[in-house]
Amino acid sequence: MPEQSIRAATTATYAAFIGSGFAFASWASRIPQVRDQLGLDAAGLGLVLLAIAAGSLLALPLSGPVVTRIGSSRTVMSMAVLLGVGLTTAALGSHAGVPPVVIGLFLLGFANGAWDVAMNVQGTVVERRLGKSIMSRFHAGFSLGTVAGALAGAAMVAAHVSVAAHLIGVAVLVVAAVVWQARHFVADHDQAEPAAAGETPRVSALAAWKEPRTLLIGLFVLAFAFTEGVGNDWISVAAIDGHHVSPTLGTLAFAGFLTAMTVGRWFGPGLLDRYGRTPVVRVLALIGIAGVALFVFGPSPAYAYLGTLLWGLGASLGFPVGMSAGGDDPRMAAARVSVIASIGYCAFLGGPPTIGFLGDHVGVLRALIVVAALLTVAVLIATSVRPLPGSGVRQDDTVTKSDRVA
């Protein structure tokens, strides 16, 4: 394949990750204002946010067969348009009442779920054709998009721009940019099992649900997805309500979390190549546990801001490493990524109502201790992401001189 095509596909994949992150963080940055406009308490807000997870969980099991049939390019383009519709509906609905917001967030979640699987599949294709471990950098692109979205959101809050005007503008921008770039994706035929006579893509997807390693990686990703998702949804609210900072500073705490996660993902490939997947993600999970504890129990906002940085750094590599582990065998990558993402996104289903329910009893700040508990589980099962023998990926226990040079 021409080098120019691979470079264009690499740029397009970054665009898909960045656009997804920017759209999501733009919504997340306005959650406190939407909560106030709708008059919701912590539990009510958790139930509204549940609509995003419900849409994603409906889309994710379907994504493997869909991506196999129509390709990652068409999937991302169509889901970008649907996400724009959902974001616009939620934005307008924030001035009308809870039902239209729930509908908009459901569409946003559905689009985001299928988009997520498709862009990760394309990421494994590009990673393999480049011959470089860059998956976490694609996820760093997502985090970069979230940082930009959070900072723009903070600016919109400070400038008193309405939720509707802000989010509709974001929807138009993201749809136009992502649809334009996704045309440059490379074909991902090698991401699925060759179709035997009478075999359908769904058979491969169902087979992946029976693999113990795939299911364990899914649980590992769930722990990190919960860590990341709770940070996205609740850090700004917890900082405002628990540490009594201003709404603008609460949004900046969220931006600090996202910045730390972006840094971890950008520099992660060097650590993974040098030390291996399992040792790196274990250390980061421990850093995340320390960050959550500091954010929750820190005696002043300054300690809480430091905690958000450690929390974001600790959450940085779990999800992309899980996606890479699912793509170790290119023949089953689409099916396995779909299964792993489906399990991982259960965190987004359980996260909002869990924190909301606990928040009504012990306060949102103290409820965040659940994050540390799940990261402890991730430490214990981190061996599940070791590369498959014969996959061409360096094993965790062996570091050769050539690996260090590379």
pLDDT cut 90: percent of the chain above it: 35
Q: Would 192 be classed as within a structural domain?
A: no
Look at residue 358 and tell me if it is in a domain. Answer: yes
Give pLDDT < 50 ranges for the chain: 190-203, 398-406
What domain count does the chain have? Answer: 1
- CA atoms lying within 13 Å on the CB side of residue 341: 32
Amino acid at 247: P
Cβ pair 105, 49 in contact under 8 A = yes
Residue 50 placed within a domain: yes
Is 199 domain-assigned?
A: no
Q: Is 191 a domain residue?
A: no
CA–CA separation, 68 vs 192, rounded Å?
Answer: 6
Residue 79: the pLDDT is: 95
**Residues 6+ away with beta carbon under 8 Å from 87:** 23, 26, 27, 104, 108, 167, 168, 170, 171, 174
195 falls within a domain: no
Domain interval for residue 33: 3-185+205-405
DSSP, residue by residue, 7-34: HHHHHHHHHHHHHHHHHHHHHHHTHHHH
Establish if 155 belongs to a structural domain.
yes
Distance CA 308, CA 40 (A): 25
Q: Is residue 190 domain-resident?
A: no
What pLDDT is recorded for position 400? Answer: 39
- CATH number for the domain spanning 334: value is 1.20.1250.20
Q: pLDDT value at position 189?
A: 60
